[in-house]
Amino acid sequence: MLGSIRLCRFATSSFTQCRSYTYCIKGGGRSQAWRRIPSATHTELFTRPTLSYRPSVSLLSNHQTVARCADLASREYTLIYALPSITLLRALSKLKIIQTGITIVILPPIYYFYFQGMVSLELVDYSSAIALFAVAMLYTVSYFAGRVVGRMYLDSSGTTLKVSHLTFWGARKDLYMPVTDVVPLADAGDKPDEAILSFKRYSTEQKMYLSTRFGRVVDQNGFEKVFGVLS
């Protein structure tokens, strides 16, 4: 019974949603991978309490993770989609970080001068409002910029998709996933002629965004292998 509970907890983890496939995220000098129990077994976990769990078999070992990520990263990929304006989003994200940092750094001296009677309360309120606005804008810009697909690559076998996007700090992150995990545009609820399209996956509720109007489909055949035929 304890084994069943452990298995259920593993199956419902937010980081283990990948249809018996290893996801590798490469970015910021780190590589990580997760493996998921097939979704078909999720409902059976609660109806078959005798389901065995073998703790002696490591589902995630360090050497397997590194080997799998290295294997995916070493494959030959073909660019199928690119968003030219991703460089502007990256520059904007880093600019907001610098602006927020400068705004926060100058706050302590302003408060010090205020308590010394050297500046007015209006200047303190104004500076504090600017700092709060800068933090809010930083979070907003980084949040949405991190969900924009910058580039997509398809491996030579047509089974693995590499998606490049931005992190919160404006760095590039590569996400590897099976093509079968990507929801076609026809099933995602978006029309192909819309300006902004949803990039959805079966393994997670989080979604990203791409645009065939502002972006460029480099390889039409490869793109349609992943998202279906564009009408």
Model-level pTM? 0.64
The dihedral formed by the CA atoms of 11, 17, 20 and 21, expressed in degrees to the nearest 10: -150
What's the chain's Rg over C-alpha atoms?
A: 23
128/132 Cα distance (integer angstroms): 6
The pLDDT, as a whole number, for residue 111 is 92
- Calculate the alpha carbon distances from 114 to 103, 111, 117, 121, 206 in Å: 17, 5, 5, 7, 45
Domain 77-83+148-227 in this protein, CATH class: mainly beta
Do 150 and 166 form a contact (C-beta atoms < 8 A)?
A: yes
Residues 6+ apart with CB under 8 A from 185: 192, 197, 227, 228, 230
Residues of the chain under the 50 pLDDT cut? 1-23, 28-63, 65
The pLDDT, as a whole number, for residue 24 is 53
Q: What tens digit of pLDDT does each residue of 2-19 get?
A: 443 333 333 333 333 333
The pLDDT, as a whole number, for residue 44 is 43
- Calculate the alpha carbon distances from 95 to 98, 100, 137 in Å: 5, 8, 11
Where are the domains positioned within the chain?
2-74, 77-83+148-227, 90-145
The pLDDT, as a whole number, for residue 188 is 82
